[in-house]
Amino acid sequence: MVIIELLKAVLFGIVEGITEWLPVSSTGHMILLDEFIKLKVTPEFYEMFQVVIQLGAIAAVLVLFFHKLNPFSPKKDQLQKKNTWTLWFKVIVAVLPSAVIGLILDDWMDAHLYNYIVVAIMLIVYGVAFLYVEKLNEKRPVKIDDVHTIDYRTALYIGAFQCLSLIPGTSRSGATILGAILLGVGRSAGAEFSFFLAIPTMLGASALKILKYGLDIMEQEAALPTGLEFADLAVGCVVSFIVSLLVIRGLMEYVRKHSFAVFGKYRIGLGILVLGYFVIRSIV
């Protein structure tokens, strides 16, 4: 039974590692996966698990882009170090809108929006949006083709788009990349900035969930986590890290040559399947 449980955690890690970076909604897929495969954890632990598992994916970004994100690298001259610090400041500016709104609405969204209907609708809506924006973008010139040339105003606007991802089924990477494209940022630069923006966003979200979980334990509203629950989380994080390494590399190569239209079609198809499945289940 322990092996089966850990294999479930492996599957959750694979789904997280793939969907966190593709514009298809990791939270939405995790909610849907939970409908079919249940981890043997308490509801309070699972609420924390589905966010903290993202730390594995974040570690992959830090590994792959360590040199680009490291302002202390001895291989960089003073100008390059300054540009790296500036990039970090832009990322911090971009994370502010979702940080403020997320703190205010976190509990409300958990209670009202984490369900298959919202996920399915958002999958379809943003799938259509991707197809429309890519069609619109065919005749529009790219204004910003390097992540370092994104200015503070554009960074803030991209951060505002990230607020949309607070609704499950939207996709954090999808919202930020879509916003970047609308603002005239190239796909490659938009994807990179989205990856970097994920670092403080997910670290903050994970810290918030861990804090809430700890407070629930202290107030005896949640049970102490078991060894198996910790094992599920550890396995999920490790697997999501490994899978993310492959997915990020593949996505960066893909966006240099292709549009995001295929992800729009996938979202629409999946959203329709999800709605159909749950409608049929409710009838039967």
**pLDDT tens sequence across 183-223:** 999 989 999 999 999 999 999 989 999 999 999 999 988 89
Residue pair 17/250 in contact by the 8 Å Cβ criterion: no
Q: Which domain holds residue 265?
A: 2-283
| DSSP secondary structure string for all residues of 231-242 | HHHHHHHHHHHH
Total domain count, the chain = 1
Contacts of 235 by beta carbon, 8 Å cutoff, 6+ apart? 6, 9, 10, 13
Q: Which residue type, as a one-letter code, is found at position 241? A: F
Question: For the stretch 118-155, what's the b/e string if a residue is b when 16 or more beta carbons lie within 10 angstroms of its beta carbon?
Answer: bbbbbbbbbbebbbebbeebeeeeeebeebeebeeebb
pTM of the model: 0.90
Average pLDDT, the chain: 91
pLDDT recorded at residue 117: 86
Helix (H, G, I), strand (E, B) or coil at 281: helix
Residue pair 152/90 in contact by the 8 Å Cβ criterion: yes
From 176, 213, 102, 190, select the one nearest 142 (Cα to Cα).
190
pLDDT recorded at residue 36: 87
